[in-house]
Each structure stands twice: as C-alpha cells, then as structure tokens.
Amino acid sequence: MAQLTNALEATGLRAKPGLMERIDLPRRVVFLAAASMIAIVALLLAFIFWQGIQLFVKDGQPIGAIFDSTWNPLADTPEFGILPFILGTLVVTAGALLISTPLSVGVALFLSEVAPNWAKSVVQPALEIFVGIPSVVWGWLGITVLVPWLSDTFPNKIAISMPLVGQVFSMPGFLTGFSWLAGSLVLSIMVLPTITSVSYDAFRAVPQELRTGSLALGTTRWQTIRHLLIPSALSGVLTAVVLGMTRAAGEALAVQMVIGNSPTLPAAITQPVTTLTSQITLDMGNTVFGEPWQDALWTMSLVLLIISVSSVVLVRLINKRRIGQ
Amino acid sequence: MTATARPAPGRSMAPRPSLRSKTSRGSILADRVATVALWATGMFVLVLLGSIIVHFAVAAWGVVSPSFLLSDPSGETLGGIMPVLWNSIYMLVLTMLIAVPVGILGGIYMSEYAPDNALTGAIRFAEESISSVPSIVVGLFGLILFVDNAHWGFTALAGALALTFFNLPLMTRLAEQALRAVPQDERSASLALGATKWQTIRHVVVPLAIPGLITGVILTAGRVFGEAAVLLFTSGLGTPPHYNFTNFDLTSPVSPWSPFRPATTLSVYIYKLNSEGLGAFKNQIVDGSAAVLISMVLLFNLGARFVGRLLTRRMTAS
C-alpha cells in the first residue's frame, strides 16, 4: 500500500502529504484508544498489588500466615488464614469443570460434527443467550430451584455399601442445600458457553480433508471423532477448559448466593464452603479502609488476579506449543 | 461461533452400507450410542434454556405489570423497581457513551494500523488480561481508584468507568473483527482513487463495517446491562431515593440525571434483596426483576441479530 502511495506521489497523480497528514493525527488518536488498555492493566496490577501486600507490609503479618487455615478477623488477635478460601475456590472450580467439560465438549462436537443446520441455528443462539444471563439471575435460580431440590432429595447421610467389604463411602446429607455441589453445578452451567464456543472453534479448525480421509478409510463418525478430531483439537479444547476455569474461579455473586459461605476447609460436596470471591463480596462492605481485615480481602483479590493472569499466560503457552508443532 | 460455509458434516460422507461390511458391529453400535449422546447434549442446552424461560414466565406472572415497572420500591406492598430500572438504563447509556467511541477507535487501530511488533503484542496481552480478570476485582479497582483515592464516593460515574474498563476489550475485539471483515479490495480501490488512509477508513471501511459494529455494540450492551459484581463497590448498593425527574442539576447528588450520585442497578438490587433477606414480597420482587433482566437479555440478543441482518441486507443491496 505504501509503495502504491509513493508511486502515485512520484508521478504527481497524488498530492504531496500536507502538514496534517504528516502528523497523522487520526493514527495517534486510534493508537491511544487501543493503548489505553495497556494503561488500564498496568494501573490495575499496580493498585491491586499495592493493596494486596499491605497485610504484610503495614499490618506485619508473615507471608506464610495466609496459608493458615484459621480465618477469624474479629478475634482479639485476629487470624487471617485464607487457605479455606483458596481451597474453596479450587474445589468449587474443579467440580464445575468436571461437570461442564464433558457436557460442553459434547455440545461443541454436536454443533461441529452432528447437528443439521436447523439444530445449529437454534442451539448457537441459545448458548449466546446463556452468556448474557446475568450472574445474579443464575444465583437466584440456584437459590430458588437447585438448593431446595438438593436438600429435599438428599437430606440424609449418603453411603455406599458393598457386600463383603461393607461401607466404602459415606458423606453427610445436604442440611440446607447450600453447598460445594450447588456452587459447582451453578458454575458448570455458567462456563458451558465459554468452553463450548472455544472447543467448537478448535473442532472447526480441523481441515475437512482429514475427516473425509478418515471416513474414506471406512471408520465410523465416532471413530473419526475419537481418534482424529479430539487429538487434533486437543490444545484448543485445553484452552477452552482453562478459559472456563478462569471464568469459574472469578465468578462472584452466583457462587456466593449458593455455597453457604462457611470459612472452613472443604470437607464434602454436600457441605457449605466458601471461595475467595464470595468472601470478598460479603466482607468488603463491612470493613473500614486500611484495617487489617480489609487488607486481608485485598490480599485475596491479589491471589485472584494472580490466578487470572497466570491463566492468560497458560493459554498462550498452550497455543504456542500448537503453532510450534 | 459464526456459521461457516463448509461442506456438510461427516454424516453425508459416510460410506454406503455395502462398503461398510468391514466395520465391526461393535463400532457401529458405539457410533450410534455416541450420536445419541451428542444429540442429547445439544438438546439439553435447549431444554435448559426453555425451562429457565418458562420458570421465570411463571414466577413473574402477576408480578410484572406496568405499575411494577413504574413505581418506587415500597416496604409494605409489592411496590416497583422503577428507580433501579432507571439506573440500569442510565448506567448502560453512560458506559456506552465512553466505551463505544474508545472501543471502535481502538478496533480501528488494531485492524487498520497495528504493525506486527512488540507494542501490538502488549496491547493484545492487555486485552486478554482484562478479559480474564474477575469482575469483582475490576470492581475493587474502581473502588480504590475512584471511590477512595479520588474521593468521589459511590457514584454512577465510578461505576460506568469501571464497567468501561471491564468491557473495553470486548468492544475493541468485536470492532476489530467487524473492520477486518471488510474486503481488502475496498481499501485498495479507495487508495487507488487517491484517498488518504484516514479518508479510506472514514468513508469506506467504517461505513462497510457498520452492521458488524452495531452487532458488537449491542452484544457489549447486553453484558453491561446485567453486570453486578463490578458495580457493588463503585456505584453502590443502597436503596435508591424517590427520584425527581425535573431536577436537571448534573452535579446534584440526588438528581436522577446526575453522574455524581449513587446508582443501584437492577442486578445489584437483586443481589441486595437476596443478601438482606427482608420483606414480605422479597421473592416476588426478585422473580419479577430477574424476569425483566432476562427479557432485556433476550431483546439485546434478538436485536443484535435482527439489526445486523437488516443492515447487512440494506448495505449490500445498495
């Protein structure tokens, strides 16, 4: 394009650039608009980092103390162990991914390999509507439908016994329904569109010739999916799961509404747990700026930020490997 | 997830039964089972969405009415959600006023100018990073930046700026995609006529990208409208006062038109009612509010599709 412009200028077909054109104001303006995102990220990292280390710098808590399992900000000697929140976030997210990944990859395969056009043209918009449903609405559905159902259906101890061996597994029933499982179930639906759409793109990116070749060898469609599509699209599916994980770990309100918010280490899927996001949401409004309790909440948001930035790096690594192959 | 024009999926290419004799019965059975299972996952999505819509239609029946939409909340009776609905719309407009121009300009840079260098890489990394930062953390950033450090307190403007931060990457990416979809030939033709690069962008590329840009704006708007976690600690979660719509003082802390006042939105209101757990009509109000939110989401989605399709038809026909 530049060569063309130069050629036109040389032949006099195009006027020499004037002052305004040489300064190229539009270019500068649109650059600033795009670069503003760098400024936002830099400021966000700086502020959250600074606030997040106050617990150690100003309040003199040893860094190791946050990995303690006791959270008691109101005691005479307050304890700010945030391990219950970190573990809570991890287990609730893991539960959501365990439920959501097979389902989402199934929907993605359905859309890319199986669905006739009419089915595609209703399932895809349905997924887009899922993305748009606000998290408070998911949380409210959790409270009014899922939580009562869980506590009504499994109120008693759940135990599995086998002949000869005896009882192999047991856990308490749902007392109230507010639980780890409720959180994971709500999240699994919330991350379904994310995992589905990214895996769908990965499956669509597999060249059609490979499918045709495989089918021409006499394989069934399922054999093609299992032995060709899933291995070829694996890095894309992994990216999808990491993105789903990020969304699940960062989701605040829907989770807070259904997990019961008990600051103890996760024990069973039927029991209340808590997460980083839900504790921040609950406590931030009740604390005063600068007090150790609030500083601990900022430390928790720093942990969240570290989780999310590392997932961006992880996604980049996964994709770099794919390009390198 | 755009529909791609590709040959039909594998099904149509499956060999005829006679050629398939070597395929074992077991693998054919597995194929049938897998097909049924994949159909089941797809239908699950539809059934779930259908049940959610039916659930809220039933729950909101008898709650959502013109008076529910147009009156103030009340302690003793059902009351209404007018102030919070107003705030949601107000916050949406305020946010889009900032996010749309910045996002489209940023999209123009990324699509038309951005060289393949480290700086562009940094912008992309920033874009991905903000998209992955939890909304509650973006809200806390707004809290520390505007509410605490700038001493604004809980204000609509603080909330709108935090929402802009959160949604700018989405708006920029959608704008970039819309602009990239404009064929290269259009640019070459314009430049060959002697237009400058900026004239080409302004008079050729952007007009051709308008359908895609509008779809992007509507999709972003849908996300802004329902967001709550960003707003809890930036625009506040108090019960809104009775708004006097004849008060046009834009610096007033009580005027509904002013950006310098707390603004509890519909989503935040749902969260607030649920966490306070008070009031005889709590469940009805929340069901009604959730139904209104879902209807808006449906409207935004259908609107984006309809407007996008309509404009594409108009512009390609002319």
B237 touches chain A (CB under 8 A): yes
Residue A25 lies in a domain: no
Residue B5: CB partners within 8 Å, gap ≥ 6?
Answer: none
Q: State the pLDDT at residue B5.
A: 46
Give residue-wise pLDDT tens across range A219-245: 899 999 999 999 999 999 999 999 999
Q: State the pLDDT at residue A36.
A: 95
List chain B domain ranges.
Answer: 66-317
**B191/A4 touch (CB, cutoff 8 Å), yes or no:** yes
User: Which residue's entry shows tokens 């570290």?
Assistant: A306
Buried b (16+ CB within 10 A) or exposed e, B122-148: ebbbbbbbbbbbbbbbbbbbbbbbbbb
Nearest CA in chain A to B154: A285
Q: What is the mean pLDDT of residues A196-222?
A: 92
Buried b (16+ CB within 10 A) or exposed e, A33-42: bbbbbbebbe
Buried b (16+ CB within 10 A) or exposed e, A210-237: ebeebbeeebbbbbbbeebbbebbebbb
Q: Rounded mean pLDDT of chain A? A: 88
Residue A54 lies in a domain: no
Residue A268 lies in a domain: yes
Contacts of A5 in chain B (CB under 8 A): 191
Higher pLDDT, B8 or A122: A122
Higher pLDDT, B52 or A3: B52
Reported as a pLDDT band with limits 50, 70 and 90, residue B236 is: confident
Give residue-wise pLDDT tens across range B128-150: 999 899 999 999 999 999 998 89
| Residue A183: Cβ-neighbour burial (10 angstroms; 0-12, 13-18, 19+) | buried
Total domain count, chain A: 1
Contacts of B127 in chain A (CB under 8 A): 37
Question: Which residue, B208, B123, B212, is CA-closest to B175?
Answer: B212
Q: Residue A189 maps to which CATH number?
A: 1.10.3720.10
Facing B297 at nearest CB: one of A133, A281, A315: A133
Contacts of A255 in chain B (CB under 8 A): none
Facing B132 at nearest CB: one of A127, A221, A312: A312
Contacts of B134 in chain A (CB under 8 A): 249-252, 277, 304-305, 308
> Has residue A265 got a pLDDT over 50?
yes
**How far apart are the C-alpha atoms of A228 and A214, rounded to whole Å?**
8
> Has residue A325 got a pLDDT over 50?
no
**B196/A21 touch (CB, cutoff 8 Å), yes or no:** yes
Reported as a pLDDT band with limits 50, 70 and 90, residue B157 is: very high
**B42/A144 touch (CB, cutoff 8 Å), yes or no:** no
- Complex ipTM more than 0.85, yes or no: yes
> Has residue B206 got a pLDDT over 80?
yes
**B13/A215 touch (CB, cutoff 8 Å), yes or no:** yes
Residue A43 lies in a domain: no
| Cβ(A258)–Cβ(A142) below 8 Å | yes
Q: What is the mean pLDDT of residues A201-214?
A: 93
CA distance A162 to chain B (A): 30
> Has residue A20 got a pLDDT over 70?
no
Residue A193 lies in a domain: yes
Reported as a pLDDT band with limits 50, 70 and 90, residue B185 is: very high
Specify the DSSP element, H or E, that contains A79.
strand A79-80
User: The whole model's pTM is what?
Assistant: 0.88
**pLDDT-wise least confident of A54-63, A110-119, B33-42, B84-93:** A54-63
Residue A5 lies in a domain: no
Which structural domain range is residue A106 located in? 64-324
Residue A22 lies in a domain: no
> Has residue B10 got a pLDDT over 50?
no
CB contacts < 8 Å between A and B, how many? 301
Q: What CATH fold (topology level) applies to the domain B66-317?
A: MetI-like fold (1.10.3720)
Q: Which of A276-290, B92-106, B205-219, B275-289 has the highest mean pLDDT?
A: B92-106
> Has residue A10 got a pLDDT over 70?
no
**B130/A110 touch (CB, cutoff 8 Å), yes or no:** no
Residue A246 lies in a domain: yes
